Amino acid sequence: MTVLLVSRSATHHGGHDAIHRLAAATAEATGLPVRACFLDGAAPSLHAALEAVPDHDEVLLVAVHVPPDRYLDTWIRRAVAHWRTTCARPVRIAVTTPLATQNALVTAIAEAIAGQHTELTGNPGPFRSPAWSQITRHHRHVLICRGPRCTAYGANEVAATLGTRLHEHRLDDDILVTPTGCLFPCNLGPLVVVHPDDIWYEQVDAELAVRIADEHLRDGAPVDAQQPRRS
């Protein structure tokens, strides 16, 4: 059996590494293959992790979120159902009860309370800085949807490809790239939106991401762009 710790994207630095370390520690404690994956916003996606499970293996999913995240619990089920439509292998997949409802977590918190404490003194860093009042001088703003459906359709690879390409073109300061949650037209994902041009690229793959970086963001010529379908 393979265990997958499924989490959501962490907004703080090191959050994703922490989930991977938790998976490694759990593997050591249980002797089972345990991997970390993400519903949205980070790699590897749940789809990619399921894809990597060996043939004939069973999968147990653990939603890693405290307190329980109904969005994560609901979307794990949707993502697995969608993944099954893309995979011919008959894989048995189950899910545990949410961690926050398990007594072992109460025990762990009680042990932490009874254990060693670190007093918080001093100031580890400034809360404000003059630099954080400056709006960046970028020429274009690129939104990359990292919501659960776009992630399932390959947004992680799109984001990585676009980021690498822009770095190679030395456009990091010129182009502001922002990962977003769901932008709503999920059926058209993965979505990349370029402003102020108001160009919505649909079903972006790595190849189109390279063209967006080269032709639109570097050379200023949108790639066979379609206007957004607005109702």
Under DSSP, is residue 158 helix (H, G, I), strand (E, B) or coil?
Answer: helix
Distance CA 173, CA 139 (A): 9
Does 145 bind ligand FES (CB under 6 A)? Our answer is yes
Stretch that binds ligand FES, among 43-51, 69-77, 143-151, 216-224 (CB under 6 A): 143-151
Does 206 bind ligand FES (CB under 6 A)? Our answer is no
Among 41, 44, 98, 147, binds ligand FES (CB under 6 A): 147
State the residue number with the nearest CB to ligand FES.
147
**Other C-beta atoms lying within 10 Å of the C-beta of residue 81:** 10
Does 183 bind ligand FES (CB under 6 A)? Our answer is yes
Runs of H (alpha helix) within 32-93: 46-51, 70-86
Distance CA 78, CA 147 (A): 13
Q: Whose structure tokens read 């499970």?
A: 53
Distance CA 199, CA 226 (A): 7
**Ramachandran region, residue 58 (left: φ > 0; alpha: ψ -120 to 50; beta: rest):** beta
Among 30, 35, 72, 40, residue whose Cα is nearest residue 54: 35
Does 33 bind ligand FES (CB under 6 A)? Our answer is no
Among 27, 185, 210, 211, binds ligand FES (CB under 6 A): 185
Does 44 bind ligand FES (CB under 6 A)? Our answer is no
- Residue with smaller CB distance to ligand FES, 2 or 156: 156
**Smallest distance from the beta carbon of 224 to ligand FES, in angstroms?**
20
Residues in binding contact with ligand FES, number by CB under 6 A: 12
State the DSSP H helix or E strand holding residue 4, giving kind and residue range, or none if neither.
Answer: strand 2-7
Structure tokens belonging to residue 189: 């994902």
51 to 90: interface string for ligand FES, x by CB under 6 A: ----------------------------------------
Among 8, 149, 165, 216, binds ligand FES (CB under 6 A): 149
- Residue with smaller CB distance to ligand FES, 24 or 184: 184
**Smallest distance from the beta carbon of 145 to ligand FES, in angstroms?**
3
- Torsion sign (Cα): 209, 211, 217, 221: negative
Does 163 bind ligand FES (CB under 6 A)? Our answer is no
Phi, psi for residue 94 in degrees, rounded to 5: -125, 170
Does 154 bind ligand FES (CB under 6 A)? Our answer is no
Where does this chain bind ligand FES (CB under 6 A)?
A: 145, 147-150, 182-186, 189, 191
